[in-house]
């Protein structure tokens, strides 16, 4: 995940969130952005749940549920890397990095909310993806 590039997605978050709210189909890049934006909101909502004024924000599990609609795109990036092999190293590095970041942000959410998947499982998958990405692994 290129967090510098993510800044442009963050700047466009209102349009992305509007598309999500209207259930419009998003392209791959917008789907990736939607996943990370919604997961950031899920984590933030979980951290501030005691300060939340009713009706102003979605609950953390609602942001999480919206984000999970875009998770297959995150996982697909890693699968695409495996299919394309070494000839597409740039996509390989970017796709694998985004997939790993996706699992890590899910683990961060799961640390604070029991509705998410097991933090141990997610951490294990993320570590396996990192180790598998190392040269000679």
pLDDT tier, 38 (very low <50, low <70, confident <90, very high otherwise): very high
67 vs 26: CA distance, rounded Å: 13
pLDDT exceeds 80 at position 53: no
**What is the rounded average pLDDT for all residues in the chain?**
77
Q: Please, what's the b/e burial string for 19-55 (b: 16 or more CB within 10 A of its CB; e: otherwise)?
A: ebeeeeebeeebbbbbbbbbbbbbbebbeeeeeeeee
Mean local confidence (pLDDT), 22-47: 91
Would you state the pLDDT for residue 95?
60
Query: Mean per-residue pLDDT for 21-42?
Result: 92
| Per-residue confidence (pLDDT) for residue 81, from 0 to 100 | 45
- The better pLDDT of the pair 100, 26 is held by 26
Q: For the chain, give every domain's residue range.
A: 3-133
Burial of 131 (0-12, 13-18, 19+ CB in 10 A): exposed
**Which distant-in-sequence residues (6+ apart) come within 8 Å of 3 by Cβ?**
none
Give CA–CA dist 66/89, Å, rounded. 31
How does DSSP assign 74-100, residue by residue? HHHHHHHHHHHGGGGHHHHHHHHHHHH
pLDDT score, position 75: 83
pLDDT value at residue 94: 55
CB 77 within 8 A of CB 99: yes
The 10s digit of each residue's pLDDT in 58-116 is 888 899 999 999 999 888 876 544 433 443 434 445 566 788 888 888 888 888 877 76
């Amino acid at each position: 995940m290129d967090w510098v590039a993510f800044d442009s997605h963050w700047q466009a978050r209102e349009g992305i969130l509007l598309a999500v709210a209207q259930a419009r189909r998003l392209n791959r890049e917008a789907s990736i952005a939607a996943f990370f934006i919604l997961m950031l909101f899920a984590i933030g909502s979980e951290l501030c749940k005691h300060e939340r004024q009713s009706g102003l924000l979605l609950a953390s599990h609602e942001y999480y549920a919206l984000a999970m609609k875009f998770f297959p795109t995150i996982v697909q990036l890693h699968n695409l890397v495996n299919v394309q092999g070494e000839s597409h190293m740039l996509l390989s590095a970017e796709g694998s990095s985004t997939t790993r970041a996706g699992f890590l942000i899910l683990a961060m959410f799961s640390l604070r909310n029991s509705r998410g998947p097991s933090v141990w499982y997610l951490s294990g998958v993320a570590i396996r993806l990192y180790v598998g990405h190392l040269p000679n692994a």
